[in-house]
Amino acid sequence: MSEIVSKVVEDTEVCVRCIVSPMFFSESRNKLKREAFLPAPNHKDVSLLRLRYTDLNRCKQHAKSLRIGDSSYCGLASIVKSDVAAAYEEFKTDGKEALSVDIEYSPMSADGMYLPKDIDVHADDKGLPMHADLTYNTEAALNEIQTQMRKFANVLVKRAKSQKDAEPDKEEWTMGKFYNQ
């Protein structure tokens, strides 16, 4: 049995966001888009994978399994929990304090369902025991412009590290380390 996944995401913990194009990545600008860190309509969470409990190969394999509209896997991005706090402080300087954001423990079962947060999961359990959510305090309402969320996501994109995968058809991550720890 492997390590128990901590219910607390540490400030220094690297979290990986699976990136698909064109939804989260602009091929023409070769740049990560703010949509990578925005919740889907009627949701308030953005899925992440805690690198402490997995590796980049598993992150890539999960990313390749995602089906999000017409988008397809193109790479990975990372943020550290302290980046979220720093982005929030930068965002607050605009006088906007109604929005709050955090990274929370949120393991998922093999069938894609959230597991209760009070149970212990192990890093080698089936499903996504390493799953976490970038959670906003409010939902992204359908058909409403979410100006505060967009501005925050713009700040977060500047702090994130991203790497386009030069070999997306391979099962292994071959691009090396692209995150700070």
Q: What is the pLDDT of residues 16-58, one digit of tens each?
A: 999 999 999 999 999 999 999 999 999 999 999 999 999 999 9
Is the pLDDT at 7 greater than 80? The verdict is yes
Q: Are strands 72-80 and 31-32 parallel, antiparallel or unpaired?
A: unpaired
Q: What is the pLDDT of residues 100-117, one digit of tens each?
A: 899 999 999 999 999 999
pLDDT of residue 96: 56
pLDDT of residue 77: 97
pLDDT of residue 15: 97
pLDDT of residue 109: 96
Q: What is the mean pLDDT of the chain?
A: 91
Is the pLDDT at 174 greater than 60? The verdict is yes
What's the burial of 101, exposed, middle or buried (CB within 10 Å: 0-12/13-18/19+)? buried
Q: Alpha-carbon distance 156 to 45, whole Å?
A: 15
Q: Alpha-carbon distance 117 to 119, whole Å?
A: 6
Q: What is the pLDDT of residues 119-168, one digit of tens each?
A: 999 999 999 999 999 999 988 877 777 888 898 999 999 999 999 999 99
Name the more confident of 10 and 140: 10
pLDDT of residue 148: 85
Q: What pTM does this model have?
A: 0.92
pLDDT of residue 181: 57
Q: Is the dihedral of CA 160, 90, 84, 25 positive or negative?
A: negative
Give the tokens for residue 90: 């930068």
